[in-house]
A and B are shown apart, each in its own frame.
Chain A
Amino acid sequence: MSQLKSILEKFNHNEGVEGSLICGHDGIVVESVLGGRFDAHEMAALVSSVHLAVGNCVEDFQYGRANRFQMSSQNGSLVISELGRGLFVAVLSGGVDAAAINAEIFQAANEIKKHANLG
Chain B
Amino acid sequence: MVEEKAPSNPAEWVAAIRGHRKEADLKGALEACTKGLQAFPDSTDILFIYGEVRIDCFNQAKNSEHLKAALVCFEKLLKINPRHYMANLLAARIYYKGRAWIRAEEKLAAILKMSPSDPRALELKAALQKMKNAAKGGPAPEAKEAAAHAPDSEEFGEEAIAKESIEGLQGGSEGEYENLISRFSIFARLDGVRGIHLIDHAGVEIKSVLKKDSRGLSNLATNVSNIYSAARLCMRKSGLGTLQRGTLLTPGGNVIIVNVFYGLLALELDTDADLKVVEMRISRYVEALAE
Chain A residues in contact with chain B, CB under 8 A? Answer: 27, 37-38, 42-43, 45-50, 52-54, 56-58, 60-78, 91, 99
Contact = CB atoms under 8 A, between A and B. Distances in A.
B186 interface: no
Contacts, number: 132
B230 A49 contact: yes
Given A50-B231, A73-B241, A74-B242, 8 more contacts: A42-B237, A49-B116, A53-B229, A53-B231, A56-B226, A64-B250, A69-B227, A69-B246
11 contacts: A38-B238, A49-B230, A50-B234, A56-B223, A60-B218, A60-B223, A61-B252, A66-B248, A70-B247, A73-B242, A78-B234
Interface residues of B, number: 39
A53 B238 contact: no
Contacts of A70: 245-247, 249
A15 to B, nearest CB: 18
Nearest to A64: B251
A25 B220 CA distance: 23
B243 interface: yes
Interface string B108-120: 0000001111000
A100 to B, nearest CB: 11
Nearest to B259: A73
A52 B117 CA distance: 12
Interface of B: 83, 114-117, 217-220, 223-224, 226-227, 229-231, 233-235, 237-253, 255, 275-276
B247 A69 contact: yes
Contacts of B230: 46, 49-50, 52-53
Contacts of A57: 223-224, 226-227, 248, 255
A51 B249 CA distance: 12
A84 to B, nearest CB: 14
A43 B251 CA distance: 26
A42 B117 CA distance: 10
A67 B255 CA distance: 12
Contacts of A49: 115-117, 230, 233-234
Contacts of B83: 56
A77 B242 CA distance: 11
A99 B251 contact: no
A1 B249 CA distance: 33
B244 A52 contact: no
Nearest to A93: B240
**Nearest 4 pairs of A and B residues by beta carbon:** A63-B252, A57-B223, A64-B251, A46-B234
